[in-house]
Structure formats: structure tokens, C-alpha cells
Amino acid sequence: QPKTPSKDDSEFRDYSHSEISRDVATIKNSVVMHLTATFLRTPASIDSAHAYLASAFSVRDRLLQRWNLTNEYHDKIGAKRVYYMSLEFLIGRTFDNALLALGLRQEYSKVLGDVGFCLEDIIDEERDAALGNGGLGRLAACYVDSMACSNYPGWGYGLRYKYGMFQQQILNGYQVEAPDCWLDSPNPWEFPRPDVTYPVKFYGHLVRDPHSEHRFKWESNVVYDAMAFDVPVPGYGTTNVGNIRLWSCKTNTLFDLNKFNSGDYQGATGGQVAAQILTDVLYPNDNTNDGKELRLRQEYLFCSATMQDILARFRKTNRPLSELPDLAAIQLNDTHPTLGVPELMRILIDDEGLSWDEAWDITTRTFAFTNHTILPEAMEKWPVPMLDKILPRHMGIIYDINLFFLQKVEKQFPGDRELLNKISIIEESNPQQVRMAFLACVGSHKVNGVAAIHSDIIKQTIFKDFVRIQGEDKFINKTNGVSPRRWMNECNPDMSDLITEVVGDRSWVNDLTKVKQLEGKLEDVNFRERWWAAKQKNKERLAEYILTTTGIKVSAHALFDIQVKRIHEYKRQLMNIFSVIYRYHLLKQMSPEQREQEVPRVVIFAGKAASGYWVAKQVIKLINSVAEVVNSDEEIGDVLKVVFIPDYSVTAAEVIIPASDISQHISTAGTEASGTSNMKFVLNGGIILGTVDGANIEIGEEIGEEQIFFFGCLAHEVEDFRHYLRFNQPKPDSALQTAFDMIQRNTFGDAQLFQPLIDAIMRGGDVYLLSVDFPSYIEAHKAVEEAYRNHDEWVTKSILSVARMAKFSSDRSIQEYAEEVWNIEPQPVLNCGL
Ligand code: GLS
């Protein structure tokens, strides 16, 4: 009789709870075991791809063991968990991150070295998990990292897209998109859970419950299965391991054998295709919403599976549903997961039989909502007819949420029809639209922006009336942060070693306040030299990367001036390239002797444009056209180089960011909610050239305004400028005019190609105020150059900046959310006595 372990089988428990031994021999054993048994390799057929896979699987074994421990413990003590719902998780690579977290980097280096591999090459075998567009998705990844590292019980929930963020190729200067087939080879960082699968319904019709006003039965035969994949999130320096649960549409039950047997092969798989497509692709839009029906269905699949899963976990506790908010906090990462609100209402009312009021109380005590943008084109709205067709029950619930909300407001402000119209969740357009930001706001107990200025702006604009109705306290600020694990310790090993030396150990990685101690080293000449040597090495690494990815040779002794982010008009890459053109013009006017005196500069761009965003794609073309002309101009040589690095990604960022002297964050004031790469650059000893916008402002406050180059108009001035420009021609200064002239003289190829970019300024009202900010932008560049000439002062700025960056650790952000929004506490597994 084979023995099945009972729940209190101590042998089984002890075995599963004891850590796998950390010595090199055990690791080697486990890597070899995976090579042979998981991947069918013999010593003769090991290549680096399989060396990576086997190593990664052996690391995964350790993580999953800790994952089990963590979740078992949190279940046992009845810990309250936070669920971070996000349609995007821009994770990047995991192998190196996991090795550092487990403290096993040296051991793996040894094991791999013994069989002739170099750890760095093996790390390079990993494909990025690029399930996000930009800042919003990367923030979600940093946040789950911080939850794990700070021992907060928390999970991320998302979708497992088969195709992540597209691969960007540059052909003839243009962006060309290719699918990101990241799951083509085995993915060690996910654990499939066929046992965790939920049905998700679409379309159909409603049958009213004769016994209850609010209850309905929703009948439909369009039902898809969402299956869970768990992605372990290594906690650095702790036993806790976090989790991101990603849903994928399961299709095998949808194969129609009858159709197949009758010879209709296409029909046989039709249902599978329809289901599969739901989790096939990540929509490649950042800060825009294109209102596609498939996107709505993705959002619902995600929300329904997630709510069912959270409730299934809750039911195991046997506690009454009214206590759900004591065990679960749900954070909506922007409006994309807002259907979670009516979905929870539906389950509580229709399936669990709760009254409307009971359900609403539970729902609003559980959800909280983060707004990440105020760009009008990003505001999610769904046409009522579309929602009604796909999710008839939810449309009904949304109508009721709105009705009860408006009734309350009417009582509070009797007779104010205009107010009701302004705040209604249903916009009275043709067709009517559901305003998701309002639904998220009404369904949540807290609403936050992502930097101080942004949180103020949303209180004065989109949520102004809600502040009046629901009270100031509901609307708070949670300034973003970034993970020091990935964005310092992992991507900048030399600077990290230096900091470790100063602090005495590596504990600063989990407690960034300790970097303050760097200030004590400001006068230490030797330290300063080593600091700069680390920066220089990073610049050389980037120069190498540029050479291999673009073929352009740049000098690592030039000033590295970097702007990497999504290509978007409001981020003003166009202003940057206009200033490069102007600089080129100036250099061409100079004698060779004068040029010799200039600070040599490499201007580096990278970033993707949404596939349907024509203007952004033309900006990429212009950058590449300018690069081609400037880089091949022998007169100019190394004094100016322009580079567009293709296929920006988390992994590329890890090489690019540590190498900056200057990085640009130059959005029109009031448009960039926060920005997070600004934090990463400064944390790596780079200086910011930026507008008074987003988190730039708070970075300036922390590190001192002498450490940052601000320029441009202020957020409160923007509306007046825009108003003026709606009725008056912009007046470009002579520098901007020079740039226009050069383009129009075909200096960078056919001027016709770029005329629409100039027209957007000169005829289109210059919405992003390039003509307004250009003069101060050029002045700021001059100030940068002057400062860079004084090397000593520059090094001081660099060290001081890093020393004062503690606030921008995502650990701080997560702690604030935990204390002020989620009401959860750290629950370290270590010594938990399991
Ligand atoms: C964004 C904002 O544009 C960024 O400024 C912000 O840093 C990020 C995370 O809060 O969210 N909003 C968005 O739609 N995409 C973003 O990157």
C-alpha cells in the first residue's frame, strides 16, 4: 500500500520545510538533475541555453519551497493580504534577481564555471517577461518585489499574455513591430496550476429572481476557463516569497469533437481560437485607451477569475463574508481592473445571496484605487451598448451603483442638476459611456495619485466634485518608488559594492535610508575616484552595448545624455531632437579649434511607440534621420553623436540607466503623473535635466535643487499658454526656428516626412508647449555643460544625490500603502515555527 501523507505527517512536513542545502555540491547536483531529467541533455549536448534553463529550474525549486512556506504560514495565522490587481507586470528577467535574493550568486557562478560557462552569459540567455508597456507595469513589478522583501502578505494578479510587449526593430529609421514570442522556450519562472481554474461567462441574458429585487440569474453558454500560473517573487534577504498569479485562457475543453468527426476541422477549433485570443496579446498602449472590445473582454476575464480566486481563498477560513475586508485589500492599478467592483457585487448578491447594502459595504471597504494619468486620451470609457452586450449583469449593477450614488448626492446637494450630470458614472453622450475612473472612485474607500503634484491635480480636476462629496480624506498621495534590488544592487554592481563598503554590509538594499551615510564620504578623495570609476565602467558597458545593438561607436568619455521612455508627444522627445539639431547647427558654425573646446556629448534615445501612434513613430524616424547625418559628419566626430537604441526593455534599461551623466524628464508641466525612471537614474548617480513635473519635484526637494537642472513653465501656467496658443501663432525663438529651417532644407532627408511634426506646433496649437519651453530648455543645456566641465562638483552632485534618495525606494511606498490604505502588517516567515 503506497503511503499518502496525512496533513500532520511530520516526516513529510519536516522534509518539505527544511531548506535545500546551499552548498556547491548540492547545487551542482540539482543543476545536473534538471539538465538530464528535465531537459534530456547529456554532457555532450549542454549548450548555454540549457545551462540557463537547468540553473533556473534549480533556483525555482528553492523559491517554490519558500513560496509554500510563506503561503502556508500566512494562511495559518489568518493574515490579511493585499491583492494588487494590474493588467500589466513588466517583470524583466528573474534569474539574476533570484540569485541575489537567495544569496547564491557565487555558488552558481562556481557551478557553471566548473562546466565552462560564465554566469553573465548564462544570465543573458533569459528572455524578458515584458507583460507591460512602461512605468505603470514596471511599478507593479517593483511593488510586488517590495511586498516580498518587506514581508507583507501580498499577491499580484494579472494576465499571462502569450505575446508581451512587441519587439521593436528599426528599419530604414522606422519602427517596425514584431511579436514577442517570449514563451517559445520553457519559462522557469512560472508554475502552471491546472487545478486553479475558473469559468468566466460572457454575453447571455438575465433572469430575475422572483424573491429578490436585486438578484438575477445570468445565463449564457459562452463560458471560458481561466487557468492560473504562479510567478514566484523572490524576497531579498528574507524567506518570504511573493506571488504574481497570472491568468491564461484554457482552450482544451473547447475542442469540438463532433465537428472534427464530421470533417469540419476549422469549426472544430473555432471555439478554441476565440478563447485563446483573450489572453494572447498585451495591448501596446501606454497612456492611451483605444476602446477595443477585445480589451474589455480581457479586462473582464481577468477581474472575474481574480475575484473568484480571492473569494475561494476567503471561504476556506469559514468566516462570514462581512469579514472579507478584514482579510483582503484589493488595489486597482489604474482603471483597467475596475470591473472587479461590479464583479464582486454580482457574486455577493447573485451567488451568495447578500443584500445590496451588505454587498456594497463589503466591496467599498475592500477596494482602493490608484490613478496614474490625467491625459484625456487615456481615460477609460466603455460604450454602454458594448458593455451591455458583453456583460449584461454588470451593466445593470453599474446602473444601480450610479443610481444610488446620485440619489445620495441629490440629498446632499438638492437640486444641483449640473453636479449630477458632471459626476454621473454614465456619460450622457451618444452612445452613452461608462466612465471607469468614476466607477473606480465610487467603488473604493481610498483614491490616490502617484506623486504629490499629481495627487493635487486630480483633486482639482477629474475628482474635484468627488472631493466635495466624499470628503478630502478619501483622496491621498502615494508617491511612487522603485526597487533598490533591481535598480541599484543588480544593475550597478560596482557602485553597490562601494555603498556596501560605506554602510558596512548590504542591508541598505532593504533599507535605503542607510545610503545617507554616503554624505560622510564626500571629502574622501579615494572614495570619489572609485565612485567615478564605477560610473565610467558603466559608461563603457553602455558604449559596448550601443556598438553591438546599433553599430555606432561612441566615446565613453563624452557626456552621456539619455532620454529613455515610451515615445509620446507629452514626453517631448521631439523637443529633445530639435535641440540636438540646433546643437549640430552651432557646431557646424564653429571653427575646428572652437569645436575642440566643446564638451563632447552622446545623445541617447530609446523607447517604443504604440503601433497605432503615427506622430510618435515619425519622431523615431526623425531621431534616426538626424543620427544618420550627424554621426557620419566627419567634421563633427565625437563632439556629437546621436543614438537610438532599438527595443527598449527592462533588461536594456539595466544597462542604460547606470551609465547616464544626464537624463531627461522633460514632459510639459502637469502631464507626467510621476515618472519612475527619473528615480532610477538619480539612484545610479546620474543628474536630471527636467521640468517641474511629476516626481522630479519631490526628487529636487530631497536631493537639493542644486543637484537638478529644472527649466520650463509651471503646471499652473500651462492652461493660460494653451489658451493663448489656441488663438495665436506660436513664436518659436531663433534656436527652434533654426531647427525647423534645417529640417525644411532637407538636411535630414525629405522634409515632407517631418513637416507634420512642425505643423503640430505651428498650426496645431502647440499643445505640449514646445515653443514656450524651448528657450529655457536650451539655457538649461548650457548650464549642464558648464557644470559638467567642473568634474569635482559633478562628482559631488552625483554622490549627494544618491545619498538623499531614500524616499524613492518602493519599500517606502509600499509601507505607506500598507499602513494607510491596506491595513496590513509584515509577517516574516522566518522562525514562524511551522
Ligand atoms: C503612468 C504615468 O504616465 C507615469 O508618469 C507613472 O510614473 C506611471 C506609474 O505611476 O504611470 N501612467 C500610465 O498610464 N503609464 C504610466 O507609465
pLDDT for the residue 253: 80
Provide the grid cell at 333. 492599478
pLDDT for the residue 271: 87
**Position 289 pLDDT exceeds 60:** yes
Structure confidence at residue 2 as a pLDDT band (50, 70, 90): low
Task: Tell which residue, 256, 250, 238, 306, has the closest CA to residue 87.
Answer: 306
744 within 8 A of 751, measured Cβ to Cβ: yes
pLDDT mean over 319-337? 98
At position 400, the amino acid (one-letter code) is D
* DSSP label of 34: I
480 lines ligand 1 (CB under 6 A): yes
| CA within 13 Å, CB half, 421 | 6
Q: Residue 143 — left, alpha, or beta (φ > 0 → left; ψ -120 to 50 → alpha)? A: alpha
**pTM metric for this prediction:** 0.98
**Position 299 pLDDT exceeds 90:** yes
Q: ω into residue 646 within 30 of 0, thus cis? A: no
Cα separation, 246 vs 88, in Å, equals 10
CATH class of 484-808: alpha beta
Q: Is residue 597 packed enough to be buried (19+ CB in 10 Å), middle (13-18) or exposed (0-12)?
A: exposed
Domain edges within the chain: 16-77+94-127, 78-93+128-479, 484-808
The answer to whether the Cα torsion of 607, 612, 613, 618 is positive or negative is positive
**Position 310 pLDDT exceeds 70:** yes
**Digit-coded pLDDT (tens) for 566-612:** 999 999 999 999 999 999 999 999 999 999 999 999 999 999 999 99
pLDDT for the residue 7: 63
Are 78-93+128-479 and 484-808 in the same CATH fold? yes
**Digit-coded pLDDT (tens) for 375-404:** 999 999 999 999 999 999 999 999 999 999
Task: Name the residues annotated as catalytic.
Answer: 372, 565-566, 571, 676, 680
Q: Is residue 13 packed enough to be buried (19+ CB in 10 Å), middle (13-18) or exposed (0-12)?
A: middle
3-state SS of 556-598 is CCCEEEEEECCCCHHHCHHHHHHHHHHHHHHHHHCCHHHHHHC
673 lines ligand 1 (CB under 6 A): yes
Q: Considering only CA atoms, which residue is closest to atom 14 of ligand 1?
A: 287
Residue among 287, 569, 668 to mutate when testing ligand 1 (max atoms within 8 A of CB):
287
Cα separation, 289 vs 793, in Å, equals 45
Provide the grid cell at 769. 508647449
10 CA distance to ligand 1 middle (Å):
49
- CATH: 3.40.50.2000, 1.20.1090.10, 3.50.40.10, 3.30.70.20. Which one for 78-93+128-479? 3.40.50.2000
Cα separation, 614 vs 612, in Å, equals 6
298 within 8 A of 391, measured Cβ to Cβ: no
DSSP states of 314-362: HHTTT--GGGHHHHEEEEEESSTTTTHHHHHHHIIIIIT---HHHHHHH
Residue among 133, 136, 564, 569 to mutate when testing ligand 1 (max atoms within 8 A of CB):
136
285 lines ligand 1 (CB under 6 A): no
3-state SS of 384-408 is HHHHHHHCHHHHHHHHHHHHHHHHH
Task: Tell which residue, 603, 541, 608, 584, has the closest CA to residue 742.
Answer: 584
Long-range contacts, stretch 699-704, CB < 8 angstroms, 24+ apart: 699/805, 699/808, 702/804, 702/805, 702/806, 702/807, 702/808, 703/800, 703/801, 703/804, 703/805, 704/800, 704/804
**Position 831 pLDDT exceeds 90:** no
Q: Residue 805 — left, alpha, or beta (φ > 0 → left; ψ -120 to 50 → alpha)? A: alpha
Picking from 238-242, 253-257, 647-651, 819-823, which range would have the lowest pLDDT averaged per residue?
253-257
Task: Tell which residue, 290, 415, 395, has the closest CA to residue 346.
Answer: 395
**Position 52 pLDDT exceeds 70:** yes
Task: Tell which residue, 716, 715, 720, has the closest CA to residue 670.
Answer: 715
**Digit-coded pLDDT (tens) for 706-748:** 999 999 999 999 999 999 999 999 999 999 999 999 999 999 9
CA distances from 702 to 106, 280, 466, 516, 679 (A): 36, 43, 31, 11, 11
157 CA distance to ligand 1 middle (Å):
18
Dihedral of the alpha carbons of 371, 329, 128, 190, in degrees to the nearest 10: -160
217 CA distance to ligand 1 middle (Å):
39
249 within 8 A of 271, measured Cβ to Cβ: no
**Position 833 pLDDT exceeds 60:** no
72 CA distance to ligand 1 middle (Å):
34
353 within 8 A of 320, measured Cβ to Cβ: no
Cα separation, 657 vs 771, in Å, equals 29
Structure confidence at residue 1 as a pLDDT band (50, 70, 90): low
End-to-end CA distance of the chain: 29
pLDDT for the residue 570: 98
pLDDT mean over 146-150? 98
Instruction: Indicate whether this complex's ipTM tops 0.85.
Output: yes
Cα separation, 36 vs 52, in Å, equals 13
pLDDT for the residue 745: 98
Other beta carbons less than 10 A from residue 332's beta carbon: 27
133 CA distance to ligand 1 middle (Å):
10
Structure confidence at residue 834 as a pLDDT band (50, 70, 90): low
In percent, the amount of the chain with pLDDT more than 90 equals: 94
**Position 524 pLDDT exceeds 60:** yes
134 lines ligand 1 (CB under 6 A): yes
Cα separation, 598 vs 474, in Å, equals 53
Residue among 674, 678, 680 to mutate when testing ligand 1 (max atoms within 8 A of CB):
674
pLDDT mean over 416-435? 98
pLDDT mean over 134-159? 98
pLDDT mean over 629-653? 98
Task: Tell which residue, 329, 153, 176, has the closest CA to residue 241.
Answer: 153
Q: Is residue 92 packed enough to be buried (19+ CB in 10 Å), middle (13-18) or exposed (0-12)?
A: buried
Three-state DSSP at 164 gives coil
Provide the grid cell at 667. 514632459
How far out from the chain centre does Cα 524 lie? 38
Q: Which atom of ligand 1 is nearest to the CA of 373?
A: 12
Helices H, strands E: what count in the chain?
A: 34, 24
**Digit-coded pLDDT (tens) for 563-576:** 999 999 999 999 99
Strand partners, 503: none
Cα separation, 802 vs 709, in Å, equals 16
pLDDT for the residue 8: 66
**Position 615 pLDDT exceeds 80:** yes
Task: Tell which residue, 64, 70, 57, 246, has the closest CA to residue 147.
Answer: 70
pLDDT for the residue 203: 97
**Position 498 pLDDT exceeds 60:** yes
241 within 8 A of 234, measured Cβ to Cβ: yes
Cα separation, 800 vs 804, in Å, equals 6
How far out from the chain centre does Cα 648 lie? 13
449 CA distance to ligand 1 middle (Å):
10
pLDDT for the residue 274: 85
Length of the chain: 834
The residue behind cell 535643487 is 705
**Digit-coded pLDDT (tens) for 165-213:** 999 999 999 999 999 999 999 999 999 999 999 999 999 999 999 988 8
pLDDT for the residue 17: 74
Other beta carbons less than 10 A from residue 174's beta carbon: 12
**Position 693 pLDDT exceeds 90:** yes
pLDDT mean over 111-130? 97
| Contact partners, residue 209, CB within 8 Å, separation at least 6 | 215, 216, 217, 350
pLDDT averaged over the chain?
96
